[in-house]
Every structure is written in C-alpha cells, then in structure tokens.
Amino acid sequence: MAGFTHLFIPGPTNIPEQVRQAMNLPMEDMRASSFPDLTLPLFEDIKKVFKNETGRVFIYPSSGTGAWESAMTNVLSPGDRVLMSRFGQFSHLWVDMAERLGFEVDVIDCEWGTGVPLELYAERLQADKAHRIKAVFCTQNETATGVTSDVAGCRAVL
C-alpha cells in the first residue's frame, strides 16, 4: 500500500486497514458516568486472554516503557539499590532507565542471548547482608535475542 510504513519487528504490529477503520470512532469521555460500563468488563475479559484466574489485571495507557517508568518510580526512590542483569536490548533499556531515575544499579552484564543469570542473582542476594537491595529485576522476554528468562526460577532465588 503506497504511503504505508511496514514494520517488520515483533511489536508494535501493523493494524490491518479493516480493523483500523472499525476503530475510527469518536473518543469516549473517561469522566462520563457510562465509562465504567465500557471498561470494567475488559478487566475480566483480558484475564481470559492471559489465562489468569486469580491475579489482578492492569490496563495502562502508555507504551511498555511508560509502564516500566511508572512501576519503578511508584515503588522505588532515587538512591535505592536494585539488582539487574543486562543480556539484550530490553534488559539494557531497564538498566538505562534505572540509572537515569537515580537508582544505585548493581548490574550483572551477561553475554547477549543468555537470560537472567539465576546463580549470580543468588550470589549477590546472599552477599547483601545489610539488605540494601530494594528490588530485583527480571527481564522475561528479550525480543531481539529470542530469550525467555526463567521468572519462576528468579522468584525462587529471592
């Protein structure tokens, strides 16, 4: 299609023209009394998509990076020490954001394509006798390298 930029990346994806046209509706007023009727069912419906029966779903109106920043700044403060690993582009971006937000970043640099280094996380956490590490970050999926980290294993290390 002329004038259309094709993205050949894992995400965000191109939206088919038919779908885009179907979304071409007036914007909803988020303060209208009818807005909860529109949005509340989404929370239960999205649980089905993620096969989540007991957890809580959040819909965040930003890019993933915006949600990262919100999570970091609402839980941590500048000067807090965090444990992170860098083994691909997304984990690199997490480290970069943590540093820019003023956190004291204990970063473990790994070969790209390897995933979260669970043994090294365990060593760093065991060595932290003063319990200065306030948060441990685990990049679940590195799109650029195709790595999916063991989140359950990371949780077990804690």
Tokens of 154: 């990371």
> What pairing do the DSSP bridges indicate for beta strands 147-148 and 141-142?
antiparallel
pTM assigned to the model: 0.76
Distance of CA 105 to the CA centre of its chain: 18
* Residue at token pair 């003023």: 102
pLDDT tens-digit readout, 77-99: 999 999 999 999 999 999 999 99
Tokens of 37: 């009727």
pLDDT tens-digit readout, 1-51: 566 777 666 667 778 889 989 989 898 898 999 999 998 999 889 999 989
Q: What is the pLDDT of residue 2?
A: 65
Instruction: Outline where 50-150 has alpha helix (H).
Output: 64-75, 89-100, 118-127
Angle at which helix 89-100 crosses helix 64-75, to 10 degrees, equals 40
83 beta partners = 106, 136
Closest residue by Cα to residue 97 from 56, 145, 135, 60: 135
Cα 69–Cα 38–Cα 23 angle in degrees, nearest 5:
80
Exposure string over 111-148, b if 16+ CB within 10 A, otherwise e: eeeebbbbeebeebeeeeeeeebeebbbbeebeebebe
Select from 3.40.640.10, 3.60.15.10, 3.30.465.10, 1.10.540.10 the CATH code of 64-157: 3.40.640.10
